[in-house]
Amino acid sequence: MNSNEKNIGIISKGLLVIAGVLLVVSLFNPIWRIELDAPQYPEGLALTIHANKIGGEVEIINGLNHYIGMKTLHADEFIEFTVLPYIISGYALACLIVVLIRKRKALHILLGAFVLFGIIAMVDFWRWEYNYGHNLDPSAAIIVPGMAYQPPLIGFKQLLNFGAYSIPDIGGWLFITSGLLMVVAVFLEYLKTKKLKKQNTMTMVLPIMLLSFFSCGQKNPDPIKINSDNCDNCGMTISNPQFAAVLFTPKGRTYKFDDISCLIDYKNDNKEKALNAELFVANFPSDNQLLPVETSVYIKGDNVKSPMGGNVAAFKDRESATTYALELAAEFTDWNTINK
């Protein structure tokens, strides 16, 4: 042991290898996500930031932001996206190098550099968000005096009618985990000099490691898989997404229906499950977009041939409903009339 005083132990090596692998994996996953929630987008809009590109509903967000004069997002305008993959791979490589040279000092340098990189990355992210939210086109369609649209660095912020969440995504969590693993490695080495038992350290460290793997509760109903999900009321396979409906319980359970009439039957037959549940109906013109029942516009008529003969279709607004109502010779109705 004496000769190896300054070398790192086998567990620490293992942790470093895992940390390196996690970094490599994080390259292929979104690192950060910004989610926008608004009544008109019940499913939410998400912007995901990868090591080398921007993903998610960039087109929709660019389109939206156009109205308030924000710049459109293009991955090739950011130097970060060319550099970041190399930096991350570099750190992954560095982990392995530390394992090979086995010096405790090298481990400390690695951790320091990694933390520094994390801080720089967050500062850079904040700087970008500031520019993005403040540099507005003065000739934009909507100008709210004194309003800036900077998304939060981390956490939640209300921007006009959008609630914006900014949180690490899979890649980000992997990143944090690998940082934590390095901290654990440093901690283990420190304990070794204090000659404490490893078992104890592991029981102390494990909860911290587990904590980084926690998952969030569900806040949106599961999407409907057509031709695969069955209606929870009539048992038929849902193959016509235009007429689908969903009951989403406060506990996060999703019940799916192939017809609005099935949703209503089910709700009336299962009062306990329906208590405080959110109800959604599919927007007729666009597949698989769910609308809240109260604000939707409904048409009813024999030519609106829904799978279970409810013959009611739901729309986002009166405008889109009118075109279909004319074509199908259907009449307008509302939620209170249908909901009996």
Partner 1 sequence: MKKLIVLLLLSLTSYCIYANKFEVGKTMPYKSIKSALDNIQNGDTIYVHEGIYKEGNIIISKAVNLIGVNFPVLDGQKKYEILSIKAANTLVSGFKIQHSGFATLDDPCAIKVYDTHNVIISNNIIDDNFFGIYLQFCKNCIIKNNHITAYGVEEQQIGNGIHCWKSDSLQVIANKVSGHRDGIYFEFVTNSIIWRNVSTSNIRYGLHFMFSNNDSYISNVFKNNGAGVSVMFTHKVKMINNTFTENWGDAAYGLFLKEISDSYIFGNKFYKNTEGIHMEGTSRIKIEKNIFEANGWGMKIQASCMDNEIASNNFVGNTFDISTNGSLVLNTFNGNYWDKYEGYDLDKNKIGDVPYHPLSLFSVIVENNPPAMLLFRSFMVTLLDKSEKIMPSLTPDNFIDNTPLMHSLKL
The residues that touch partner 1, with contacts defined as CB under 8 A, are 225-228, 230, 234-237, 239-242, 287, 305, 308-309, 324, 327-328
| Rounded-to-integer distance, Cα 308 and Cα 274, Å | 21
**CB closer to partner 1 out of 272 and 327:** 327
| Rounded-to-integer distance, Cα 160 and Cα 154, Å | 18
Which amino acid, residue 76?
A: D
**CB closer to partner 1 out of 81 and 324:** 324
Q: What are phi and psi of 123, to 5 degrees?
A: -60, -45
CA distances (Å), origin 45, targets 55, 190, 195, 226: 11, 45, 52, 22
Minimum Å gap between C-beta 72 and partner 1 is: 31
**CB closer to partner 1 out of 169 and 259:** 259
Minimum Å gap between C-beta 74 and partner 1 is: 31
**CB closer to partner 1 out of 88 and 260:** 260
Rounded to the nearest 10 degrees, the angle between the axes of helix 104-134 and helix 80-101 is: 170
**CB closer to partner 1 out of 163 and 223:** 223
Minimum Å gap between C-beta 309 and partner 1 is: 6
Minimum Å gap between C-beta 99 and partner 1 is: 43
- The dihedral sign for the CA sequence 60, 65, 66, 68: positive
User: Which H/E stretch holds residue 282?
Assistant: strand 278-282
**CB closer to partner 1 out of 269 and 334:** 269
Q: Where are the alpha helices (DSSP H) in 135-215?
A: 170-194, 198-211
Minimum Å gap between C-beta 25 and partner 1 is: 28
Give residue for tokens 């987008």: 41
Tokens of 329: 């010779």
Minimum Å gap between C-beta 228 and partner 1 is: 6
